[in-house]
Structure 1
């Protein structure tokens, strides 16, 4: 009977190593419980619009360009640290000094900012938008 107890202990010792693979696979296939953080429901970000949400990496500007494509950006303008506004008409505008960014790429279209918005990796998983 001591051997089965040892086997049970050995079996439970094997439990922690399987916890490591979901952390490795979380970015690509681990699911929202395997390391990805749910940011919003897909229905909360209609096609052609965007929304600033709080998520695992901090605030994220989610921009939905089509039924199957969502992009994430750090919503802080690289010019002076002001939070940008969600997109309208394909552009993202900074209310602080008027910098304009392309909503689909985050690229700077008009200064005073000298660089675009920083991308944040996101993906659609089921009916949610999650960190990638």
Structure 2
């Protein structure tokens, strides 16, 4: 039996187009990868959809696949959201969500600061790549 329902990709692409309408976004980051409540923006939402803010634990984070990209979303303090490329800069392994304020790569155990993505311990030679993030109607979007 063949389904006539639209695919997930079709639905998410339609949502992204609808949200890109002028004036649709209500908040943005104060730095490339940080959202602070009360800010405004005209940046476009992520292509791969978003993640409900409630799914990102305060003091922790979550790994999400948005479009073709794997991202780490963290909420170091209530209402402050940051996004990082989830690939370890050492060899591209997906890092684990933070525990105790530390993001760890399971491959060679590089460690990064959960609030900033800064390198704490190698073999990686630099921190995680920060990504622009916005929050719209309680949904986190990564540009």
Q: Which TM class, normalised by the smaller chain length?
A: 0.7 to 0.9
From the two aligned structures, give the one with the greater helix fraction: 1
Question: Which structure's CA Rg is the greater one?
Answer: 1
Distance (Å, rounded) in 2 between the aligned partners of 1:81 and 1:64? 23
Given that 1:71 and 1:123 are in contact with CA atoms closer than 8 Å, whether structure 2 keeps it comes out as no
Residue 109 of structure 1 aligns to a residue whose secondary structure is strand
**Structure 1, 70-79 or 118-127: larger mean CA deviation:** 118-127
What is the aligned partner in structure 2 of residue 103 from structure 1? 114
**Residue correspondence of structure 1 range 37-116 to structure 2 within 5 A:** 37=46, 38-56=49-67, 58-116=69-127
The aligned residue for residue 33 of structure 2 is none
Q: Residues 112 and 121 of structure 2 are in contact (CA less than 8 Å); yes or no, is this contact kept in structure 1? A: yes
**Paired residue for 1:16?**
none
Map of 1:17 onto structure 2: none
Q: What is the TM-score of this pair, normalised by structure 1?
A: 0.72
* 2:45–2:134 contact (8 Å) kept in structure 1: no
**Cα distance in 2 between the residues matched to 1:39 and 1:63:** 14
5+ residue gaps, structure 2, are 1-19, 29-40
Q: Secondary structure at the match of 1:43?
A: helix
Q: CA deviation at 1:129?
A: 0.7
Secondary structure class of the residue paired with 1:73: strand
* Matched residues, number: 109
Alignment of 1:109-128 (within 5 A): 109-128=120-139
TM-score normalised over the length of structure 2: 0.67
**Unaligned runs of at least 5 residues, structure 1:** 1-20
Secondary structure, in 3 states, of the residue corresponding to 1:78? coil
RMSD of aligned alpha carbons? 2.5
Runs of 4+ residues over 3 Å off in structure 1: none
